[in-house]
Chains A and B, each alone.
Chain A
Amino acid sequence: MLRLNLDRERLKSTRSMRFLLYAVAALAAATPGRAQDTPAISGGAGFFTSTQGGKTTYLPIAEPLIAAPLGQHVLIESRAALLEFVSPSGGNQAGYNHSHFIGLTYLQGDYIASRHMTVAGGDYLIPFNTYNDRLSPIWIGNLQDGPLIASLGTFSSGSGLGGMVRGNAIERDKISIDYTWFYSAPSKNTQFAAQRATGGRASAYWIDKRLEAGFSYDRRLQGAHENFFGAHVWWEPRDTAFRLRSEFGRGQHAQGYWVEADYRTQRFGGLDSAVGRIEPVFRMQQTFRIDTAASDGLPGANTQRADFGLDYNLPHNTRILASYSRQFSSGGDHNIWETGIVYRFLFPAWKGR
């Protein structure tokens, strides 16, 4: 549930609708410049279950995303989360408790200034390591839970409020180098909670080898100023449907890493065959506490966790996720069983000819 916790912390229901209306207004204001530039509504809808210690929680969730181009250089984009969290009543009481949340995950405007630079403003996902801004959507992640270190370097809310520049710094035949830099102002607004911080990420991609390696750094500039460092390595060998992703993160009080591999075979009729749609996933992760000032969302004790997943990629953008995880820590070892189904949607915002 860690991945979803990032959203939950930011989600308060009543005022949320107002901000969703802003997003819809931006969508309505979009003026398509070309025939292909109709605003798009995308996202995922899913239903997840998680069983731990004999207790099962249920989570129906939708994460709609809108993207609306304005002219040739501007894009307004936003993602929201709507969920209902159902969990067993505590103590000896029968039945279930439930709570619902609606809120924005991000809302940003992008200005494509040149082939090497895009300037983004608004509420954006903090580009620390890769999970937060690249893998967190429910229709992308291979496992229901995010990594244990997902909250490291993302300042609780996972988003910043301010400006960000990003782009492709160097592009050659063999290597491509990307960069991202942001500055965030503090905000206590329910929907746009953020801390004063700055940081960025640089990554190199070796095109022939399909290998990406990057380094992230950010620094909290309010309260106790803290530095966060991250590194990631991704590899997707040519001609295969194998992916290896890994991250290392270090904060002032804790650090950790995760390595995840997933694979789909093409040997039995291709990826769209019954066998090719099966996707085994394995993730290994460890966290280490440096001290007990647990301000970073990582477990309070050193933790090891192995996740064994088995996904099935159904036709029509639907995916079934199932996983078993075993977590070890001095606070107690436990099993986590999770299942889920996710549907990804993608269509024009309005009907056209």
Chain B
Amino acid sequence: MPLKRALCSFLILTSVSIQASVSAFAAGRQSNAQAPAQANSAAEPKGGEQDRDEGERVFQQHCSRCHTAPDGFSPRISGTILRHMRVRASLSQREEKELLRFFNP
């Protein structure tokens, strides 16, 4: 019984939250899609090079799930950060390269 109760509560709360959020964000999606591109945001970039877009996509999918981007850092440690993220976020080699181009355009 305790397992059922806990599982039910967890699933109900999670699904209700997802459903409520879907409804709330569906309406605002159009306006949000026009928001300016920001490296440390979840917003889509406007234009720019394809590599950068792809790198930003990788960042949003893998890195920003846990944390926001730091305000800035030296290009000298971008490779180190990438390797750290490759281990932590299980990035593929292709994603690592795209992210490197995003950090060092």
Q: Mark B23-55, 1 if CB is under 8 A from A, else 0.
A: 001001101110110101111100000000000
Q: Are A36 and B33 in contact (CB under 8 A)?
A: no
B77 to chain A, nearest CB (A): 4
Q: Please report the C-alpha to C-alpha distance between residue A212 and residue B66 in the assembled complex, in whole angstroms.
A: 12
B26 to chain A, nearest CB (A): 9
Check: B2 CB closer than 8 A to any chain A CB.
yes
Residues in B neighbouring A344, C-beta threshold 8 A: 70
The one of A210, A248, A259, A348 that contacts B17, using a Cβ cutoff of 8 Å: A259
Check: A22 CB closer than 8 A to any chain B CB.
no
Given contacts A241-B41, A348-B76, contact A315 B13 (CB under 8 A): no
Task: Give the number of residue pairs across the A-B interface with Cβ within 8 Å.
Answer: 178
The segment from A9-17, A47-55, A283-291 that touches chain B is A283-291
Q: Mark A208-239, 1 if CB is under 8 A from B, else 0.
A: 00101000000000000000000101111111
Check: A167 CB closer than 8 A to any chain B CB.
yes
Residues in B neighbouring A37, C-beta threshold 8 A: 77, 79-80, 83
Q: Please report the C-alpha to C-alpha distance between residue A35 and residue B32 in the assembled complex, in whole angstroms.
A: 37
Q: Are B10 and A259 in contact (CB under 8 A)?
A: yes
Q: By DSSP majority rule, is chain A's interface helix, strand, loop, or mixed?
A: strand
Task: Identify the 5 closest CB pairs spanning chains A and B, nearest first.
Answer: A36-B79, A257-B10, A40-B77, A37-B79, A168-B90
| Tally of A interface residues using CB under 8 Å | 71
Q: Are A167 and B90 in contact (CB under 8 A)?
A: yes
Q: Are A75 and B87 in contact (CB under 8 A)?
A: yes
The one of B32, B83, B94 that contacts A75, using a Cβ cutoff of 8 Å: B83
Given contacts A67-B83, A171-B92, A257-B6, contact A239 B66 (CB under 8 A): no
Q: Are B70 and A317 in contact (CB under 8 A)?
A: yes
Q: By DSSP majority rule, is chain B's interface helix, strand, loop, or mixed?
A: helix
Q: Please report the C-alpha to C-alpha distance between residue A51 and residue B44 in the assembled complex, in whole angstroms.
A: 41
Q: Are A272 and B76 in contact (CB under 8 A)?
A: no
The one of A207, A242, A248, A290 that contacts B7, using a Cβ cutoff of 8 Å: A248
A300 to chain B, nearest CB (A): 15
Given contact pairs A205-B61, A250-B3, A286-B9, a sample of 6 additional A-B residue pairs in the complex whose CB atoms are under 8 Å apart: A36-B100, A112-B86, A239-B32, A240-B28, A267-B31, A352-B74
Q: Please report the C-alpha to C-alpha distance between residue A77 and residue B77 in the assembled complex, in whole angstroms.
A: 14
The one of A115, A266, A288, A346 that contacts B2, using a Cβ cutoff of 8 Å: A288
Check: A146 CB closer than 8 A to any chain B CB.
no
Q: Are B10 and A248 in contact (CB under 8 A)?
A: yes
Check: A151 CB closer than 8 A to any chain B CB.
no
Check: A270 CB closer than 8 A to any chain B CB.
yes
Given contacts A255-B3, A259-B10, A267-B31, contact A237 B25 (CB under 8 A): yes
Q: Are B86 and A135 in contact (CB under 8 A)?
A: no
Q: Are A248 and B6 in contact (CB under 8 A)?
A: yes
Q: Are A38 and B76 in contact (CB under 8 A)?
A: yes
Q: Are B71 and A347 in contact (CB under 8 A)?
A: no
Residues in A neighbouring B79, C-beta threshold 8 A: 34-37, 69
Q: Are B80 and A250 in contact (CB under 8 A)?
A: no
Q: Are A36 and B41 in contact (CB under 8 A)?
A: no
Look across to chain B and name the residue whose beta carbon is closest to the beta carbon of A34: B79
B30 to chain A, nearest CB (A): 9
A32 to chain B, nearest CB (A): 8
Check: A3 CB closer than 8 A to any chain B CB.
no
The one of B33, B65, B87, B104 that contacts A120, using a Cβ cutoff of 8 Å: B87
